[in-house]
Every structure is written in C-alpha cells, then in structure tokens.
Amino acid sequence: MDSINILSWRHRHQLTFSFLRTSCSGASRTGAKHFQDLDLTRPGGPACAAMSVVEENRPFAQQLSNVYFTILSLFCFKLFVKISLAILSHFYIVKGNRKEAARIAAEFYGVTQGQGMCPASALVNAITIDGVTPLFNACSQGSTSCTELLLEYGAKPQLESCLPSPTHEAASKGHHECLEILISWGVDVDQDIPHLGTPLYVACMSQQFHCVRKLLYAGADVQKGKYWDTPLHAAAQQSCTEIVNLLLEFGADINAKNTDLLRPVDVATSNSLVERLLLQHEATPSSLCQLCRLCIRNYIGRPRLHLIPQLQLPTLLQNFLQYR
C-alpha cells in the first residue's frame, strides 16, 4: 500500500488500463463495463494487485530514488538556512554592532549616572569574530568616560599582537584624550603590529599632531615605525610640517633609510616645504641643549619618564626635560 500511495493518479489509471488490456483482451463489452465499475483504490482488488506487481518489478535503486532525492533536498535546505544565519549574524550583529555597541556603552556607562551601572562580572574583554573588544569600540568613538570605565573594570588595554589595538585606533582617529588614558594605564606605546606598525607611525600617517605629541611625551621610540620605515618617513610622505618639526625635536634620524634605501627627504614631495625643512635640518647640527636633553631622557628610560617631576631639580629644568 505504501508503494501505491507514492504513485500519482495518472500512473494509477495507466497501470489499470494496461492490466485490463493484457488480462482481459477477450472480454465482452459487458465484461469491460464490469471492469470499469471496479473500485481502483479498493485494497486487495485487481488494480491494486497489478500495481503491486509492476512496482515490485522495478529496480531497487529506482524505488529508492524518490527517498534519496527527498533526503538530499532537506539536507540542502538545512545547509542553506545555516549559511544564511551565519551571514546575517556576521554583517548585522558583528559588523553593525561596532558603532551601536560604542553608542550604547557611551549612553549607559559614559555619563555620571553610568558609573554604577557596569557590573563587575561584565565581559569587558569579550572579543568578536573580528577581534574587536569593547575598549576598542570606545577608543574608536572617542568616548573618554567609557574608556576610563572599562579600564576600571578590568579591560585589558593590550591583547595579542594580531588583534586590533585600542592604542592604534585612538592614534589613527585623533582621539588624544583616550590615548592619554591608555598611556596612564601603562599601555605599551611602542606596540608593533606587523601590518600597521607602531602607534606613533600610525599617528604620523594619519597626520594626528596631538596624538604624536602625546606618544612622544610618553617616551615612544621616535625611530620605530613600520618595518624599516620610520615615523619621519611617514610624516615626510604626508607633507606634515608640524609633525616633521616635532619628530626632529625629539631626535629623529634624518638619515634613516627604509627598505628601498630612501631617506625621509627622498620620500617628501619635490620642492615642498617639508623637503626644504629636512634639507635645512640636515645642514644644521643639533644644539647642545637638545643633545643633552635627549641623552638624559634616554638614560632615565621610558618607564620612568613620569618620575621626572620628583627629581630634585629646578622647575625650569624639569619642564625642559619634559618638553614643556
């Protein structure tokens, strides 16, 4: 009966007609009329027997073809649903969640009433499939209050080197206040990400003068950039005179060469103000005061630069050592 149910009405009529023609070829008109009055769907009748015989004579592979096709269709549909959900989750929950997460965090946690709304068990170091953390989102949006709050509740300012860095993000977007907060929490200002370089290099490429100054004040290595490219190469390439002057004041090597054996003056735009400035600095030796300041700062070391105000030195000399 299961095989009979699979057949369509059209197949039923064809099989019944074939059975009538072969089995009752010599029947009279009365006999034919009698067969026409038979119930084709009645269990155990001649029509059912004929259809069962025909079904049993079919190859086993053909009998199961419809079953396999149904299973394959269900599998493909299930796979399509899973892929669709994964795509929707990626683009609408993760990709679109960056700005939304930063907005919600700033709205609920960023103002005065939000100081008590972040539980200690909050996943402040949760990472999306893109490697983005809540602290990264806060620095990307320039929310100082949210940045401070996340750090207070245990957010790590620096994760693995392959993940997006809040320091690099703040430096590239020009959010120097967020950058200052990260520095105060002990972030490595010379963190080197292979495809980005150091935060100082990123700030020079983005022409963010205030971020460059914050990083240099915090003791960032003026010679460390991206591979062999120095921050001075980046500033000269971007034709940013203010940043070039600042880097030279902090002792940037004007003769440093990159992987193409080019100096900063070689990558600067021809006949530009930056090119003339570099050529002038190359012909003019550094002053003794500047050399002494650089020597003292190097001797103190970057981790202890914030202790300069505690030295038993005149205030004028302390400000000089801190470039103030």
Instruction: Give, as one character, the DSSP assignment of residue 112.
Output: G
Determine the pLDDT at residue 29: 45
Determine the pLDDT at residue 3: 44
Angle (CA) 284 285 287, round 5°: 120
Determine the pLDDT at residue 70: 79
Determine the pLDDT at residue 17: 43
CATH of domain 289-324: 1.10.750
Comparing CA positions, the residue from 165, 174, 237, 242 lying closest to residue 197 is 165
Determine the pLDDT at residue 161: 63
For the entire predicted model, the pTM comes to 0.63
Determine the pLDDT at residue 267: 94
Determine the pLDDT at residue 75: 83
Angle (CA) 235 241 247, round 5°: 60
Q: Give just the sign of the alpha carbon dihedral 212, 218, 224, 227.
A: negative
Report domain extents, the chain. 289-324
Distances (CA, A) of 257 to 95, 215, 221, 263: 39, 22, 16, 5
d(CA 237, CA 197): 16
CB 121 within 8 A of CB 151: no
Query: Which residue has tokens 């019944």?
Result: 16
Determine the pLDDT at residue 226: 93
Determine the pLDDT at residue 301: 84
Determine the pLDDT at residue 46: 52
Comparing CA positions, the residue from 204, 126, 136 lying closest to residue 170 is 136
Ranges under pLDDT 50 in the chain? 1-41, 47, 49-55, 93-96, 108-117, 119-121
pLDDT digits (tens, 9 = 90+) for 250-299: 999 999 999 999 999 999 999 899 999 999 998 888 888 888 988 988 88
Instruction: Give, as one character, the DSSP assignment of residue 155.
Output: -
Which residues in 107-138 are b (16+ Cβ under 10 Å) and which e? eebbeeebeeebeeebebeeebeeebbbbbbb
Determine the pLDDT at residue 171: 95
CB 176 within 8 A of CB 182: no
